[in-house]
Structure 1
Amino acid sequence: MVQGFSREPGTQGPLIEAPPRAVRRITQWAAAIALGGFLFGFDTGVVSGALLYIKHDFQLNSFEQGSVVSVLLVGAVVGATAAGGLADRFGRRKALGLIGAVFVVGTAIAALAGGYLTLMAGRIVLGLSVGAASATVPVYLSEISPTKIRGRLLTMNQLMITVGILVAYMVNLVFASSEAWRLMFAVGAVPAVLLVAAALWFLPESPQWLITHGQADVARREIAALTDAATADTLVARVQRRVAEERKKQARREAEGAQARKRLFAPDVRPALIVGLTLAAVQQFGGINTIIYYAPTIIEQTGLNASNAILYSVFIGLINLVMTVVAIRLVDKAGRRPMVLVSLGIMAVSIFLLGLAFVVDMNSTLTLLFMVVYIAAFAGGLGPVFWTLIGEIFPPSVRAEGSSLSTAVNWVSNFVVSLAFLPLASALGQGETFWIFAAICVFAFFFVHRYLPETRGRDAEQIDAALQSRFGRTTGGEPGAAVPSRKGPSA
């Protein structure tokens, strides 16, 4: 906890290992926190099947269909942007409980919608909650995770997103025969209520947040309950020293006329910000949510009927889940950087072939095969590892704000792609549109190869030093001071 069970940044001291009982307990908390990721996945997945029936009930044209999908992302951008300040002011636990409550409200509006505009309003409210969850969950998980299993627990967020998508597809399948799209939405209230209950009665507050907000004694008791008093004292003392140092730096910056909000854009944070925002954009502009949101629609265009299209989308959701589990098992062994590179390479090839399948009118079996390979590549690398990285690459003093801004960019990119996909496919052709996504995957591959360092097993100082080196600079003395680069393989 508190980035905990790790050596003091900048020292060569021994690692403090989390005892097995602590790891089990923290893993249980992480699973409950990741319900926020489940809601994210469920609500982005459920609309894909519901849309097949909503468009007939409300007589929606292609633009209106796209807006029902993408308007959620408008709310998500607002939710993700506000999440950092909310979580910093009220605490991670309370913020997560509020997110669950907002999701319940949004679900009720969408499920009871009497027309297009009411449905749009419900989707916006749902967007507020899923956007806030996508920004808050990685920070919360990062702050309760021991260093040794931090990657695994952070990827649990992506696992729950994929579980949410799969469950949404299965719910769509259950209600497909009755075309009961309202019930498809309504099922989402169940995990939302569970999230509120977990926040009220099960989850602890982040010790990092408690110490930062003058509640070190509460944090000490929480840590001691998992380890022992001596370990708790050591970890709390470390965080207090780090907080004190960051406050001194902040006071110095403010005395020099710098505004606190500009800290995220300071020169020494800029490499992390560039990497975080670029990864956030390319994760979406690589085309993943055109498959997730429109899988039944895309499959239907291969000649299958609506029910069969939903059935095959369940299979795609299952592959998504299985490969995410594989990624979770690998992320703390193989490392973040190689997983992202392999993922992007396979994504580029498979989505190019998917586009080719539509251009030359291949049969539905090959089209589905290319879709499955693409989903597997994303879920086995870029999908989960992105959420791990934004919980790691930012310095502790701006981690919540950096994660929040990266997530907001992710949602903006998601919105642009999901809204533009159907009109773009109509104008250029569906295959040619997939080729654009392939080109973006190629760009992302070379960007990651040049600028993303490995973060596995490294503390905040080591990650920052590797980022600075990748951008041709190293820090010495005051933040932002640059000296000639000393890049090497370890970066």
Structure 2
Amino acid sequence: MRHSGTESARIAVAGNGSAPHVRRMGLLVLVATFGGLLFGYDTGVVNGALGPMRIDLGLTAMTEGLAVSILIFGAALGALGGGYMADRIGRRRNILYLSVLFILGTVGAACAPDWQVLSLFRFILGLAVGGASTTVPIYLAECAPAAQRGGLVTRNELMIVFGQFAAFVINALIYNIWGAHPGVWRYMLVIAVLPAIALLLGMLRMPPSPRWLSATGRHDEALEVLRSIRSAEEALEEHHELRSLRPSNPQDQALWREPWVRRLIRIGVGLGICQQLTGINAVMYYGTQLLQDAGFSAGAAIIANILNGVASLAGISAGLLVMNRVNRRWLLLGGFGLIAVLHVLVGLAALWMPDTALKPFVVMSLVAGFVFIMQGSVGPLVWLLLAEIFPLKIRSFAMGVCVFALWVANGMLTFAFPPLVAGLGIGPTFFLFAAIALGAWIFVWRAVPETRGVSLEKVEAGFRDGSL
């Protein structure tokens, strides 16, 4: 088979991992995804810190619920504000500001003398988490080559999952070493300041998004950035495509009235809500309590909960291997279908298995299977699609709107899960999750288009003319 000059250059570069622009792109991804690591750690650490925190601060059921959920509602607002700011001041600068919020929120929460101060700084952490959940995937998508975009953007989800796994492991280690100390939860929280500082220092050396630069009319600067993360030929070719973009102006807000943009918002909001209501964060936030309800002792549950972190990490690692090889739609459909089956199996095991020593291990294994499938398909794909489908001029804010809906759904689930399990039991609760997964499968089949291997500019053109 013969290749064009451009194709040959790409093939040569793809095999040359030591090329300066390849190393630069790899460093950019590593640094930016510290935002994902903080997202994962700050949402997962409460899973093990809540028990000691309850005793040390004298939390009631109400103040405990507020301390857990306020981060989520802060994240919803942070997603909206972060999306707006990323369009206004740029993706890189917004991540820098978010890193400062991560540091402030982490130190403040770890030093909190009472639940009021704790809630205030967890709200600040929520703003940072929500802003990062919107801005980091877009920054990666706009810097990544089209052929590698799926894998590179999904590395942020890998870091989110690794952050949650790290929280589970660190919680278990600290609890088993210093569990008798009344302030042991403070050690669990404060560790997150280290990746927050790494994010701040690292982003000072990273370039702005070339697509954001082009959208603001700074084409020469965009070319310089492209030359640092692409081969010379690829940089010129991509820059030529970006030159066709006109600078942003106030009339761009008229895009919100376009039917094809409203369709994208519906798709994005639907994907965000479907991702959350399958129950993944109920497991990641309340996994220890869920395992106790299944039959484990308190000490065994906090250790067994590490399996959910392992399954999550294994799932996202498997997802990275197939992300650029399998169409987005088929991976989503397969993911939601398997999730529905596993939820039914969890429900059946919880309801009909006899209360023997085996039962909690069966429930734990099925829940871990759900986590594996979720993090290998639906979890990263939703974040990837949200970073891909919106037009450049409103990309960050449009994604912020969808991520706002995602975080609101997350908050509703966080509030509803404990009373659901208390009132209905594990079995009926997971049957409800299975019904939601089935509805999500139908939604994806009818509404979600395919974007794999298509440049962001061609994705936008395809939605505009109705070919996608």
Q: Give the TM-score taking structure 2 as reference length.
A: 0.90
Change in Cα spacing, 1:383 to 1:227, as seen in structure 2 (3 Å) is closer
Sequence identity (%): 33
The answer as to whether partners of 1:265 and 1:273 remain within 8 angstroms in 2 is no
The one-character-per-residue Cα deviations of 1:132-176 (angstroms, maximum 9, x if unpaired) are 000001110011000110000111111000000010001101111
2:323 aligned to 310, 322, 331, which one? Answer: 331
Gap runs ≥5 in structure 1: 1-6, 8-12, 255-259, 469-473, 476-485
Distance 1:266 1:183 in 2: 50
1:225 is displaced (CA, Å) by: 3.7
Distance 1:174 1:265 in 2: 53
Work out whether residues 41 and 161 of structure 1, in 8 Å CA contact, stay in contact via their aligned partners in 2. Answer: yes
Shift of 1:404: 1.3
Alignment of 1:408-487 (within 5 A): 408-460=404-456, 462-463=458-459, 475=466
Does 1:206 pair with 2:209? yes
Partners of 2:256 and 2:136 lie apart in 1 by 20
Q: Name the counterpart of 1:181.
A: 185
- Aligned in 2, Cα 1:242/1:305: closer, same or farther, shift over 3 Å? same
Q: Distance in 2 between matches of 1:433 and 1:156?
A: 31
Match of 2:267 in 1: 275
| Amino acid in the other structure paired with 1:49 | G
Change (3 A) 1:396 1:212: closer
Instruction: Write the distance in 2 (CA, Å) between the matches of 1:289 and 1:108.
Output: 24
Counterpart check, 1:289 vs 2:285? no
Aligned equivalents of 1:457, 1:228: Cα separation in 2: 19
State the Cα distance separating 1:16 from its structure 2 match. Answer: 7.7
Matches within 5 A, 1:26-41: 26-41=25-40
SS at match of 1:345: helix
Quick one: distance in 2 between partners of 1:32 and 1:344? 31
Task: Judging by fraction of residues, say which structure has more helix.
Answer: 2
* Aligned residue in 1 for 2:152: 153
> Deviation digits for residues 209-255 of structure 1, max 9, x if unmatched?
222223322222232344465654443232121235xx5xx77xx4x
Letter of the 1:162 counterpart: V
Q: What displacement does 1:199 show? A: 1.2
- CA–CA distance in structure 2, aligned partners of residues 422 and 77 of structure 1: 21
- Contact 2:222/2:239 (CA < 8 Å) preserved in 1? yes
Q: Which residue of 1 aligns with 2:244?
A: 241
Q: Does 1:83 align with 2:82?
A: yes
The amino acid across from 2:203 in the alignment is: A
2:313 paired residue among 317, 321, 333: 321
Q: Is the 8 A contact 1:46 1:172 kept in 2?
A: yes
Tell me whether 1:17 sits opposite 2:21 in the alignment.
no
Cα offsets for 1:385-419 (capped at 9, x unmatched): 11111111112222212211111111111111001
Worse-superposed segment, 32-41 or 229-238? 229-238
Q: Residue type of the partner of 1:126?
A: L
Q: How many matched pairs?
A: 449
Change (3 A) 1:354 1:329: same
37-46 vs 106-115, which deviates more?
106-115
* 1:402 matches 2:398: yes
Question: How far did residue 101 of structure 1 move?
Answer: 0.9
CA distance in 2, matches of 1:350, 1:93: 40
**Structure 2 CA distance for aligned equivalents of residues 435 and 61 of structure 1:** 30
2:56 corresponds in structure 1 to 57
Q: Deviations over 1:428-474 (max 9, x none)?
A: 33322222211110000111111112211123465457658xxxxx6
Aligned to 1:387: 383
Aligned CA-pair RMSD = 2.3
Q: Provide the rounded CA distance (Å) in 2 between the counterparts of 1:265 and 1:190.
A: 43
- Work out the CA distance in 2 between the residues paired with 1:366 and 1:295: 15
Instruction: Determine if contact 1:52/1:306 at 8 Å carries over to the other structure.
Output: no
Cα distance in 2, alignment partners of residues 463 and 226 from structure 1? 22
Question: 1:240/1:294 Cα in 2 relative to 1: closer, same or farther (>3 Å)?
Answer: same
Supply the AA of the counterpart residue of 2:94. Answer: A
**C-alpha contact (below 8 Å) 2:36/2:132 kept by paired residues:** yes
In structure 1, how many angstroms separate the alpha carbons of the residues matched to 2:276 and 2:230?
40
